[in-house]
Amino acid sequence: MSELPPLREVIAAHGLSASKALGQNFLFDEQLLSRIAAIPGDLSGKAVLEIGPGPGGLTRALLRAGARVTAIERDPRCIPALAELAAAFPGQLRVIEGDALAEDHAALLGEPFHVVANLPYNIGTLLFTRWLGGETWPPAWQSLTLMFQQEVAQRIVAAPGSGTYGRLAVLAQWRSTAKLAMKVHRSAFTPPPKVMSAIIHVTPAEAPEGVKARVLERLTEAAFGQRRKMLRQSIKGVPGGLDALEACGIDSQRRAETLAIGEFVAVARALS
């Protein structure tokens, strides 16, 4: 591996600037990037999916950690910089120019993989809920190490009854373990976003039996869609929802944020 120029020089050489439309914010601190790449554990020889690598700051750290990286980037301006990186790490980096939302990630990698990404803000939650979904479990991914706005990260790891507890927490925790791995100050980015960021680390856990993921997704969507309302109002549009509450001994006058994850699982099981 040849010595790489500093990231700022790469960005200047390719005339790159962060695109607001693509939700980009670049990280230059290589020590910080190495710490992020270390969160999933030893990646040597492992398959890693990265979404929105931009000029390749985190990609570098992953390649230095010995990972085999598949990076999906939709910004054509970043492709030449990533091509240089691929040349510096022969056989370790595959760059796909395209939309991460349009790709079948499991088919693309064809083997178990880790996801490590500073996700573009505008598609982060959408990708996250997709990775958490699906009836096949355990999933093709072995861990998710993802950068979010701190407020979103707190919603993912929230406990029942807290102000940040909602649909994201239930989806992230009913058959996975989610933890806040690191906070990242806004000043670490170029340009600095208006908010703080945080990295969450998610690993699959055992899935409760007899529960369809799609049913749980629909149930939480209804329950938290009108979170100020009692469950008897918010889930009355879910066929069989009120009967399932009664069968599980859950008072329909409660609000969604008071239900433990196990209670959502029980109702989803009754509906499944």
Please state the rounded mean pLDDT for residues 45-69.
96
92 has a pLDDT exceeding 90: yes
Please state the rounded mean pLDDT for residues 123-141.
95
Q: Which pLDDT score is estimated for 23? A: 55
The tokens describing 156, both together, are 């993912």
CA–CA dist 3, 97 (Å, integer): 25
Q: Which pLDDT score is estimated for 242? A: 96
The 10s digit of each residue's pLDDT in 250-263 is 999 999 999 999 99
Model confidence band, residue 21 (pLDDT cutoffs 50, 70, 90): low
Q: Which pLDDT score is estimated for 194? A: 84
Nearest Cα to 171, choosing from 265, 242, 237?
Answer: 265
Three-state secondary structure call for residue 195: coil
Please state the rounded mean pLDDT for residues 59-64.
97
Please state the rounded mean pLDDT for residues 143-154.
96
CA–CA dist 133, 91 (Å, integer): 31
CA–CA dist 22, 42 (Å, integer): 31
> Which residues, in sequence order, are bridge partners of residue 96?
72
How much is the pTM? 0.93
* Beta strands at 141-149 and 176-184: parallel, antiparallel or unpaired: unpaired
16 has a pLDDT exceeding 90: no
20 has a pLDDT exceeding 70: no
User: Interior CA angle at 140 toward 135 and 141, to 5°?
Assistant: 115
Model confidence band, residue 14 (pLDDT cutoffs 50, 70, 90): confident
Model confidence band, residue 6 (pLDDT cutoffs 50, 70, 90): confident
Model confidence band, residue 125 (pLDDT cutoffs 50, 70, 90): very high
Model confidence band, residue 19 (pLDDT cutoffs 50, 70, 90): low
Please state the rounded mean pLDDT for residues 178-204.
91
Please state the rounded mean pLDDT for residues 130-157.
96
Neighbours of 27 (CB within 10 A): 21
Question: How confident is the prediction for the chain on average, in pLDDT?
Answer: 93
Q: Which pLDDT score is estimated for 13? A: 85
Per cent of the chain over pLDDT 90 is 79
Please state the rounded mean pLDDT for residues 237-253.
96
